[in-house]
A and B are shown apart, each in its own frame.
Chain A
Amino acid sequence: MTAVGPQAAVQVDIPPPIRPRERGTPLEWALMHLAFVAIAAFFLAPFVWLFAAAFDAEATAYIRVPGRLTLDNFTYIFRELAFAKALANSAIVAGATTLLVVLTVTVAGYGLSRLELRRKGWITFAVLLLQTMPLSATMVPIYGLARLLGLRNSYLGLILIHAAIELPFLVWLMKGFFDSVPRQLEEAAWLDGRSKLRALFEIVLPVARPGIAVAAGLSFISAWAEVLMVIILVDKQDMKTVPLAFYETFRTAGGYVEVQYGLVAAMGVLYLLPVMAVFFATRRLMVRGLVSGTKGL
């Protein structure tokens, strides 16, 4: 989910224009509600399998009405497959990554925004282009580097690399947010005698809060979902995160004659809920961030 994202400029928040509420025709009401139902159906349909199979005693890879409802899948993954540890690891890594990313991209975005450099545009552009480097080319050198630095099978390694993945786009995003904060604000603060750092914290950051929220939200979602880097970095059982647990269950549980989809689905449900919760909790800020992010145009 390394989406390269929207653009730079943002204005300081203006309240949205008040729009008059008009009544629509009954036909319009009907058509639009039909559309909403269709849309919701299309986007929610695939999840039906997930929730059905998680509680199904004889789940298959395909959708079926559960013959026998059970919680066994859930108890099994906790008891036998150390899923609690995997969830905890995912939470630790995603949480710490988000923190690291927010700190890093805020100062980097601010720095890049305020830096006076002739070819700054090119640097920004190059940073963005970095994100498009496909993983297959970097797996081998990253493995070597991680090993050299002792980062394999460690939280530090996972956090650093999960953070690095999101940096290009988010630095660019934050630069955009800071670009839209007029320098006059800080300059006024400097004139008032405040140091640059204080000015940053007290004046600039609050204005850029929506941008920070976007950065935090996106980096959590991305870190939570990351799988390829985990495969490269981790082979110890107690360091695995949920995506790796998925792989193992999918590939090996029950011997090689049968894959137990109920377990996979149960894992999926528990894996999905936290990221949904985080997104739900921060959505207002996040959407506001993305919205303000596009206002400047």
Chain B
Amino acid sequence: MTRTIDRRTFLKAAAATGIVVACGDQGAPAGGGGTAKGTISGTVTVSYADEAGLKPKYVQLAADGLRAKYSGVDVKIDHQKIGSGDFYTKLLLALNAGDVPDVIHVGGDKIGELADAGHIEPLDGYLKQWEDWSKVYPDAVKSGVTYQGKVWAIPYGLDTRFLFYRKDVLDKAGVGATWTGPKNVDDILEVAKAVKSKVAGVIPYALYAGPAGDSGTANHAFIPLLWAYGGDLQKDGKWIGDSPALRKVLDYYGRTYRQDLSPKEILTTAKPWTAMREKLGLKGELALLFEGAWNYGGWVTKDKAATERNVGYALFPTATGGPSFTIGGPGTAWYVTAKSKNKDAAWEFVKAFNTKEIVAKLNIEDPHPVARTDSAEVAEFKADKYLVDSTESLKKARFAPPDANFGKVIGVIQKATARVATGEMSADDAAKRYTDELRQAVGADKVITQ
């Protein structure tokens, strides 16, 4: 019933604006199989959120490109101006109720849970007929979007992270303006202490903890530390609970917060990363921050010269050595929904977006390493030092496991870090609780301890 209303209203609007819409058959064969071009028609609904404000014009470009290629297709763009967290919640509510857009745009880390829920469509059938996939997408990128042997989403801007620091603040703290990175993990705290004692009005270090930090608590704080201390999230497909590395990480959190090196606001503010990145990049009120590499773009847009002068970036150190690795991710990606009524056309849209030009241009504005190797060869891309460095950093990046339960594990990580950061529990007690909660979240049979 809703469908008919949509079409009627839509036709009226179409007549008014002159868009040609074919009243063609909207059925599509069951997913995965590519079909002849002639049957690409109907309406494709594209649903996405975008906080940075950079994507709409590219989504529009892709839509225009698709319409130009197939005159029988129309694209309805549902751009929701809410945060990506809220967007995901609403999307899940919609998918569960049966309101299914054809194309969705969410983080690549959601592949596991969305696939398990039956919300998304595997793309292997389509990929066989898309030569770009085999030509310009490296294996590492492909494995980032593979789950249970199938590919579920197309990434375009990959995630990498840097340890950002304010050169001017570190200079005042006596660390020196030519600092290129901490000697080891504890050195970060040493530098933070220097900032705290010598530079007034500047937050030394932002170490995300608790649920307020969202996935940042895991990706931008906990997990790199865990790897730095030689631990890991999984071994042989099982999640690791209590381990020596875990205890060291929780102890690190305890030390950081007990010495007031990281602000307590992180635990209570909504979206603390907004304030933190503003403070580091724009205001110089934060000295050290491990965050997504893309933030640099926002700072550059505001004040290129100042950013290049004041903001430095490095890889993350290990427990014993200097900057050597980072954490990567598939970034936000494009999916086709499983219950879409127009999967072929949906796939065509995804292809229309993921062209060499769009991928390159978007990631120049919103700096991410690109998923396509040919986009990286675009002149403007190669000319930007930061982009080149970001892409390089991916070679040293480790990735979190693409597991459907990763979301639940993030919740457990948030609780554990909050407990030590607030001083509610000691690192050892928190580690024990971590194991219990991990067992509760993913099933006791999937958890081991070291």
A and B pair up = yes
What 0/1 pattern do residues 362 to 380 of B give for CB contact below 8 A with A? 0000000000000000000
Taking a contact as CB atoms under 8 Å apart, the answer to whether B96 and A257 are in contact is no
A255-B55 Cα distance, complex, nearest whole Å: 11
Q: How large is the interface on A (under 10, 10 to 19, 20 to 34, 35 or more residues)?
A: 20 to 34
What 0/1 pattern do residues 266 to 293 of B give for CB contact below 8 A with A? 0000010010011001100000000000
Please indicate the chain A residues that have their CB under 8 angstroms from the CB of B36 in the complex.
Answer: none
A252-B86 Cα distance, complex, nearest whole Å: 12
A5 at the binding interface (Cβ < 8 Å): no
Taking a contact as CB atoms under 8 Å apart, the answer to whether A144 and B82 are in contact is no
Closest to B2 in A: A150
A153 to B: closest C-beta gap in Å = 10
A76 at the binding interface (Cβ < 8 Å): no
Taking a contact as CB atoms under 8 Å apart, the answer to whether A235 and B80 are in contact is yes
Taking a contact as CB atoms under 8 Å apart, the answer to whether A259 and B99 are in contact is no
B302 at the binding interface (Cβ < 8 Å): yes
Taking a contact as CB atoms under 8 Å apart, the answer to whether A252 and B51 are in contact is yes
B366 to A: closest C-beta gap in Å = 10
A255-B53 Cα distance, complex, nearest whole Å: 6
Taking a contact as CB atoms under 8 Å apart, the answer to whether A150 and B80 are in contact is no
B155 to A: closest C-beta gap in Å = 20
Q: Which of A206-254 contact B (CB under 8 A)?
A: 231-232, 235, 237, 247-248, 251-252
Contact of B298 among A139, A140, A257 (CB under 8 A): A257
Taking a contact as CB atoms under 8 Å apart, the answer to whether B93 and A257 are in contact is no
For B50, B94, B97, B271, the residue with the greatest tally of chain A CB atoms inside 10 Å of its CB is B97
Taking a contact as CB atoms under 8 Å apart, the answer to whether B2 and A251 are in contact is no
A195-B419 Cα distance, complex, nearest whole Å: 68
Q: Is the interface of B mostly helix, strand, loop or mixed?
A: helix
Q: How large is the interface on B (under 10, 10 to 19, 20 to 34, 35 or more residues)?
A: 20 to 34
Taking a contact as CB atoms under 8 Å apart, the answer to whether B1 and A232 are in contact is no
Taking a contact as CB atoms under 8 Å apart, the answer to whether A248 and B81 are in contact is yes
B16 at the binding interface (Cβ < 8 Å): no
A192 at the binding interface (Cβ < 8 Å): no
Contact of A256 among B2, B78, B80, B274 (CB under 8 A): B274
B40 to A: closest C-beta gap in Å = 26
Q: Is the interface of A mostly helix, strand, loop or mixed?
A: helix
Please indicate the chain A residues that have their CB under 8 angstroms from the CB of B281 in the complex.
Answer: 257
Contact of B295 among A140, A235, A237, A257 (CB under 8 A): A257
B98 at the binding interface (Cβ < 8 Å): yes
Taking a contact as CB atoms under 8 Å apart, the answer to whether A144 and B274 are in contact is no
B446 at the binding interface (Cβ < 8 Å): no
B201 to A: closest C-beta gap in Å = 14
For B83, B299, B301, the residue with the greatest tally of chain A CB atoms inside 10 Å of its CB is B83
Taking a contact as CB atoms under 8 Å apart, the answer to whether B97 and A257 are in contact is no
A261 to B: closest C-beta gap in Å = 12
Please indicate the chain B residues that have their CB under 8 angstroms from the CB of A255 in the complex.
Answer: 51-54, 298, 301
B383 at the binding interface (Cβ < 8 Å): no
B305 at the binding interface (Cβ < 8 Å): no
Closest to A147 in B: B97
B99 to A: closest C-beta gap in Å = 6
B280 to A: closest C-beta gap in Å = 11
B104 to A: closest C-beta gap in Å = 13
* A231 and B277 contact, Cβ closer than 8 Å, known pairs A147-B97, A255-B53: no
Please indicate the chain B residues that have their CB under 8 angstroms from the CB of A232 in the complex.
Answer: 90, 93
* A257 and B86 contact, Cβ closer than 8 Å, known pairs A143-B93, A147-B98, A232-B93: no
Interface residues of A (CB under 8 A from B): 139-140, 143-144, 147, 150, 152, 231-232, 235, 237, 247-248, 251-252, 255-259
Those 8 A-B pairs whose CB atoms lie nearest each other, nearest first: A257-B298, A256-B51, A251-B83, A144-B97, A248-B81, A147-B97, A143-B93, A252-B51
27 contacts between A and B (CB under 8 A): A140-B93, A143-B93, A143-B94, A143-B96, A143-B97, A147-B97, A150-B1, A150-B2, A150-B5, A152-B99, A235-B78, A235-B90, A247-B82, A248-B82, A251-B82, A252-B82, A255-B298, A255-B301, A256-B52, A256-B274, A257-B277, A257-B278, A257-B282, A257-B298, A257-B301, A258-B274, A258-B278
